[in-house]
Amino acid sequence: MKQWLVFYTKSRQEKKVKELLERRGFEVFLPLQKVMRQWSDRKKIVEAPLFNSYLFVFESCDNIPSVLQTPGVAWNIRHNDKPAVLNTKELETIKRFLLSGLLLESRSFEKFQTGDNVQVIDGPLKNMIGVLIKTKEGDKLTVALESIGQSLLVRIDSKLLTKKNLI
């Protein structure tokens, strides 16, 4: 059964991946909105993805490996260890918001604070547990390597995190 499956693309590759998938015969939904971008010498209205690095492919779960073989597709977003699915009501909500012409903003559903214990829910660092810190460059996951007195930091999209209660 075909559904709107959710995929994560490499950074700033959404439009290119959409084009590649469509050439391969997939039906793809990439919500774009017009935004004003400013460079040092000019301003320009451009179409930018509503959800950075996310796109939706109308396909059956059996064909996820075919989608993942497309250059620029990083991984399939999962929810409760199953492929994440954008339901019809959510799809219509996104389309309605886009048709409004208003400037939209997307945010992670969970609100995180500096110092929250978090767990990565998807991607190459899936199940990694650490502490969230905020920097000028954005949210970072920090993981302590106590035995050597060091820590590792990685910039991470908060959409890939969930709060983790440590016991």
Output the CATH code of domain 3-99: 3.30.70.940
DSSP secondary structure letters along the chain: --EEEEEEESTT-HHHHHHHHHHTT-EEE--EEEEEEE-SS-EEEEEEESSTTEEEEEE-GGGHHHHHTSTTEEEE-EETTEE-EE-HHHHHHHHHHHHTT-------SS---TT-EEEE-SSTTTT-EEEEEEETTEEEEEEEEGGGTEEEEEE--GGGEEE----
68 is written with which tokens?
């993942």
Instruction: Answer positive or negative: Cα dihedral of 95, 110, 136, 53.
Output: negative
Which amino acid makes up residue 91? L
CA–CA distances in Å: residue 66 to residues 26, 57, 76, 89, 148: 10, 11, 11, 26, 42
Report strand pairing: 129-135 vs 73-76: unpaired
pLDDT of residue 157: 79
Q: Quote the pLDDT of residue 127.
A: 82
Buried b (16+ CB within 10 A) or exposed e, 111-128: eeeeebebbbbbeebeeb
Q: Would you give per-residue pLDDT tens digits along the chain (167 residues)? A: 999 999 999 989 999 999 999 999 999 999 998 888 888 888 888 888 988 889 999 999 999 999 999 999 998 988 778 898 998 988 988 898 888 877 776 766 667 778 888 888 777 788 888 888 887 777 777 876 665 566 778 888 777 788 887 66
Gap between the Cα atoms of 75 and 3, Å rounded: 17
Domain ranges within the chain, ordered by starting residue: 3-99, 117-163
pLDDT at 119: 84
